[in-house]
Amino acid sequence: MSSFQLGVIGALFLSVASSVSIVICNKALMSNLGFPFATTLTSWHLMVTFCTLHAAQRLNFFESKAVDVKTVMLFGILNGISIGLLNLSLGFNSIGFYQMTKLAIIPFTVLLETLFLKKQFSQKIKFSLFLLLVGVGIASVTDLQLNMVGTILSLLAIVTTCVGQILTNTIQKRLNVSSTQLLYQSAPFQAAVLFVSGPLVDQFLTKQNVFAYKYSPVVLAFIILSCLIAVSVNFSTFLVIGKTSPVTYQVLGHLKTCLVLGFGYTLLHDPFTERNIIGILVAICGMGLYSYFCTQENKKKQSGDLSLSSQMKDHKETAALLAHHQEKEGHEVKKAAKDSIV
């Protein structure tokens, strides 16, 4: 159990560190260096991730496990579509509405897991999630400009993202595969979807052609750095969802949002107001309560499992003693019968 907890802590730390790093790297690449092709860049991220995992598998760092091709292919295509829809949602909506889209992923995930997986969320957990969403909303949501196309794209992005993250957790547990094995199997399909659709989506959103862009050495250096960090981001995403849950991963994602806002103010001198500070503090309070309530519920579940296993062990020992006693009585009866015959 202690090694499992250390693994969870390591996965969470890796996810936060790599995600904040890649956001800062991509912000410099897109805002400062003028490389706006986000969807195409994501396809390169996934291709580099697959190549890295393939090399690691060839070097026996992990064992490739055969998984149903149809399941993995559909899963990879779904994840690729969700990334494209999120980028399109950002292109058709204001920043504020896009942030609301990301906030809506948590309650929709809770709803789907409750309806289809029969998972129960306590009132304390729901309250902490509500507090977290309010805090992130105060800190990051500024304007809410609605339009029909943007709203439809946002709804589709929410549904595909939630289903993809729930499947990430479910497939790992049901098929008994590790996060590395699942990412290795599905990355080529995700990369293929975005490699085909990425340039079209980016050209539609930016009115620029990724193949006509003039790549300077600095831009190439930042693209390579972004792809290398993305290997860690993709790996830690599957690792966190597999070890915890899709909801916990989304909570972690909002922690990253708060950290990015803080780093943006500290390192990049982005505008920062009292509203941002209040929102971040409320969000951190919600995250703290969520972590505390999850820890308490896990302890209760573990103690319940231990008591159940203890009862089962006592029952088995009692059954064994009764069987031994009955067997001994049987031998005595047979011996008495034999003596009477003699």
Q: What is the pLDDT of residues 33-83, one digit of tens each?
A: 889 898 899 999 999 999 999 999 998 888 888 788 888 899 999 999 998
CA distance 321 to 198: 69
When the pLDDT of each residue in the chain is averaged and rounded to a whole number, the result is 81
Question: H or E segment at 229?
Answer: helix 217-243
pLDDT score at 151: 86
Q: Band of the pLDDT at 264, cuts 50, 70, 90? A: low
Q: pLDDT per residue over 250-259, tens digit each?
A: 888 777 777 7
Percent above pLDDT 70 for the chain: 81
pLDDT score at 340: 47
Q: pLDDT per residue over 193-244, tens digit each?
A: 999 999 998 998 888 999 999 999 999 999 999 999 999 988 888 888 887 7
Does 84 have pLDDT greater than 70? Answer: yes
Mean pLDDT of 187-193: 92
pLDDT score at 83: 87
CA 303 to each of CA 194, 290, 310, 314, 315: distance values in angstroms, whole numbers, following the listed order: 46, 20, 10, 16, 18
Does 282 have pLDDT greater than 50? Answer: yes
All residues at 6 or more sequence positions from 38 whose CB lies less than 8 Å from its CB, including other chains: 26, 30, 87, 202
Q: pLDDT per residue over 240-252, tens digit each?
A: 888 778 888 888 8
pLDDT score at 160: 93
Buried b (16+ CB within 10 A) or exposed e, 196-235: ebbbebbbebbeeebeebeeeeeeeebbebbbbbbbbbbb
Percent above pLDDT 90 for the chain: 27
Angle at 247 between CA 243 and CA 250, to 5 degrees: 100
Q: Band of the pLDDT at 341, cuts 50, 70, 90? A: very low
- Find out whether 54 and 188 touch, Cβ atoms under 8 Å: no
